[in-house]
Amino acid sequence: MAHSLSKRFKANDGIKSGMPTGAQPAQAAIKALRQFKAPKFNQTVNVVFSLGIDPKQADQLIRGSVALPHGIGKSSRVIVFCQSDKVAAVKSAGAIEAGAEDLVAKIEGGWTDFDVAIASPDMMRVVSKLGKVLGPKGLMPSPKAGTVTPDVVNAAKEYTAGRQEYRNDDGGNVHGVIGKLSFSDEQLTDNLNMFIATITKARPSSAKGQYVRKCVVAGCMTPGVQVAVAGN
């Protein structure tokens, strides 16, 4: 296995050395990914932004969510904190579990087998007691991420279908997924452009100088290709 990986990595290094240098337009960057030798499974395609922000400044933190036009090729396990009259509707929209105090008790008992937690605003007084459990896992509902909303039914539908939350890390980087390599070039390009537009729009007013310092797309087992981002 190690020998096989070494051969592929060496081949990909050779392919990359023959590519044009510098940042490429989104469509060209996606096409470049196709040139790399890939493993036999359907790779996830990731995007990483290196941003000119100061993560230590609260007014420069980047956090939100994005629903890409072609999804990301996987669904998320969603739970919803809501009143009893919404439980049936949010489950029909794709939530795997829904409720109020009963759902809180289940999580307090150790259950965290989900990817996204959504809450209606009136439920936050109930959900707040889970801060020590959900906070460190990045699962606490947040208005900035769109996971605290009066429209829990639509939120459950969107997050189940692949709406994803993004936030900067301590180095000022934002990581996201734009789909699978089985997607068409057009689908991946549309998704990439939507993610770029979303991050560009999220620029804090207090951020100075170049905002998007670097944008790179890569399969989970391919080298990265730098993407040109205009107007930053």
Question: Do 169 and 105 have their domain in common?
Answer: no
Pairwise CA distance, residues 34 & 54, whole Å: 35
Residue 1 lies in a domain: no
Is the pLDDT assigned to residue 185 strictly greater than 90?
yes
Strands (E), 73-157: 78-81, 97-99, 116-119
- Torsion angle in degrees (nearest 10) through CA of 88, 92, 96, 102: -10
Residue range 84-141, pLDDT digits in tens = 999 999 999 999 999 999 999 999 999 999 999 999 999 999 999 999 999 999 899 9
CATH of the domain at 133: 3.40.50.790
Q: What is the DSSP letter of 43?
A: P
Structure confidence at residue 178 as a pLDDT band (50, 70, 90): very high
For residue 3, being part of any structural domain is answered with no
At 102, the amino acid letter reads D
pLDDT band at 145 (very low <50, low <70, confident <90, very high): confident
Query: Has residue 186 been placed in a domain?
Result: yes
Spatial neighbors of 75 by CB under 8 A, at least 6 apart, are: 94, 160, 161, 162
Kind and range of the H or E run holding 177: strand 173-180
Quote the number of domains for the chain.
2
Residues 183 and 133 in one domain: no
d(CA 162, CA 70): 9
Q: Is residue 4 part of a domain?
A: no
- On whether residue 52 sits in a domain, the answer given is yes
Same domain? 144 vs 99 = yes
> What is the rounded CA–CA span in Å between residue 189 and residue 27?
5
Same structural domain, 101 and 175: no
**103 with 207, same domain?**
no
Nearest 5°: CA angle at 159, between 183 and 196? 55
CATH of the domain at 182: 3.30.190.20
Which range marks the domain in which residue 149 is found?
Answer: 78-161
**Are residues 83 and 66 both part of a single domain?**
no
Residue 97 lies in a domain: yes
Unique residue bearing structure tokens 């290709």: 225
Distance from C-alpha of 48 to C-alpha of 175, rounded to nearest angstrom = 5
Q: Same structural domain for residues 156 and 169?
A: no
